[in-house]
């Protein structure tokens, strides 16, 4: 099929169910790890994130774009976070859409729901971070946040940390914690305990081998004095200006690994460490980007006493990698829908 025929075939349209049916967590973890290495090797393009805050309605909208050499696809994702949606309307708080364009012609070739791709590639990112930075004998994880991302983070950890035996989950909303405990004890196959107060959170942080933060917070949820030597932290929720889940002093005392420092220095936990004077925009205070670790250029965890932090803000190239799997699988199936926006004679 030549380029004109491809364009005339139309734009592949994939809903949330089709995306979910064509993408597993296991293969997403593998794709994310490979993409981190490609990013370090200079085989990707990752323009700055466009972030629009809509504070009067407790919302935000991000536009992320990316390109991976060899995939022949350019990805654009529009992702919103409207945190009152569930309470006010009974609908998800994180709607998103991904569009892919042919990297040789620029013509759009696929449009799909981005919600599950965002969820699963972020869960995979956390798994990759823990795989390289957490202690191999880690048994206990604390999840700060009890939403969908907290669910996929735990499932991802289970795949890369076979010794994981217990999980704890914190949210100020008791109903969220109780639902999570019931659901994830069964899905993850390990006991999950609810944490309901800040005092309980402090105690839980001191017991955890791995801490995962997945909230939209704008103030520290985990304090330095709570974190014991040897702890690994996946900082997932801070992905916008002003967002914050960790005490900056944690980054001062930790081996800090970023997904993309150009992003984390602006929208991740690193932004607050820089403001506090513990890091600098010239990368002083940063140990590595995760691609350096996955590529074997730098070691990950080197001993059982160091505190490690993976500051993951989410990279559009991860969306491209995951979406390309979905497109490839869907193209092989009968019944995949197309929308003919263009007709070239």
End-to-end CA distance of the chain: 15
Burial 142-158 (b: 16+ CB within 10 A, else e): bbbbbbbbbbbbbbbbb
Asked if 275 is an active-site residue, the reply is no
Cα dihedral sign, 252-144-34-97: negative
Tokens of 71: 């995939």
- The upper half-sphere exposure of residue 223, i.e. CA atoms within 13 Å in the direction of its Cβ, equals 7
Token pair listed for 205? 């942080």
H or E element, residue 33: helix 25-40
The beta-carbon contacts of 180-187 under 8 Å, at least 24 apart in sequence, are: 180/146, 180/150, 180/151, 183/151, 184/151, 184/154, 187/151, 187/155
DSSP state, residue 340: -
Strands 73-82 and 59-68: antiparallel
Q: Residues 77, 158, 243, 255: which is the catalytic one? A: 77
Per-residue exposure over 97-128, b if at least 16 CB sit within 10 Å of its own CB, e if not: ebbbbbbeeeebbbbbbbbbbbbbbbbbbbbb
Count of alpha carbons within 13 angstroms of residue 61, beta-carbon side: 6
Tokens of 281: 């925009």
13 class by beta-carbon count within 10 Å (0-12 exposed, 13-18 middle, 19+ buried): middle
Neighbours of 55 (CB within 10 A): 8
Q: Enter the tokens of residue 21.
A: 């049916």
DSSP strand pairing (218-222 vs 108-113): unpaired
* Residue length of the chain: 345
Per the DSSP assignment, residues forming a β-bridge with 143 are 169, 212
Residues forming the active site? 77
């Amino acid at each position: 099929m030549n380029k004109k025929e491809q364009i005339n075939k139309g734009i592949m349209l994939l809903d949330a169910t089709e995306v979910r049916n064509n993408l597993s967590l296991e293969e997403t973890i593998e794709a994310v790890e490979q993409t981190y290495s490609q990013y370090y090797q200079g085989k990707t393009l990752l323009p700055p994130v466009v972030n629009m805050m809509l504070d009067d309605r407790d919302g935000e909208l991000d536009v992320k774009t990316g390109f991976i050499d060899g995939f022949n696809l350019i990805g654009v994702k529009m992702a919103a976070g409207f945190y009152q949606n569930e309470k006010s309307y009974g609908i998800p708080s994180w709607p998103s859409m991904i569009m892919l364009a042919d990297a040789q012609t620029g013509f759009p070739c696929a449009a799909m729901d981005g919600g599950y791709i965002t969820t699963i590639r972020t869960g995979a990112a956390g798994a990759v971070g823990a795989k390289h930075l957490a202690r191999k004998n880690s048994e206990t994880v604390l999840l700060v946040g009890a939403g969908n991302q907290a669910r996929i983070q735990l499932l991802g950890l289970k795949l890369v940390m076979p010794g994981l035996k217990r999980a704890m989950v914190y949210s100020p909303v008791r109903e969220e914690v109780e639902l999570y405990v019931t659901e994830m004890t069964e899905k993850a196959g390990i006991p999950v305990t609810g944490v309901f107060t800040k005092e309980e959170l402090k105690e839980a942080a001191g017991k955890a081998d791995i801490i995962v933060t997945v909230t939209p917070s704008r103030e520290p949820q985990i304090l330095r004095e709570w974190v014991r030597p040897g702890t690994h932290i996946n900082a997932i929720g801070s992905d916008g200006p002003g967002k914050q889940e960790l005490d900056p002093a944690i980054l001062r005392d930790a081996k800090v690994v970023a997904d993309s420092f150009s992003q984390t220095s602006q929208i991740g936990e690193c932004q607050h460490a820089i403001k506090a004077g513990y890091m600098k925009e010239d990368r002083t205070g940063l140990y590595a980007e995760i691609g350096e670790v996955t590529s074997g250029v730098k070691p990950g965890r080197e001993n059982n006493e160091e505190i490690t932090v993976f500051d993951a803000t989410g990279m559009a190239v991860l969306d491209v990698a995951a979406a390309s799997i979905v497109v490839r699988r869907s193209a092989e199936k009968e019944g995949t829908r197309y929308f003919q926006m263009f007709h070239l004679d």
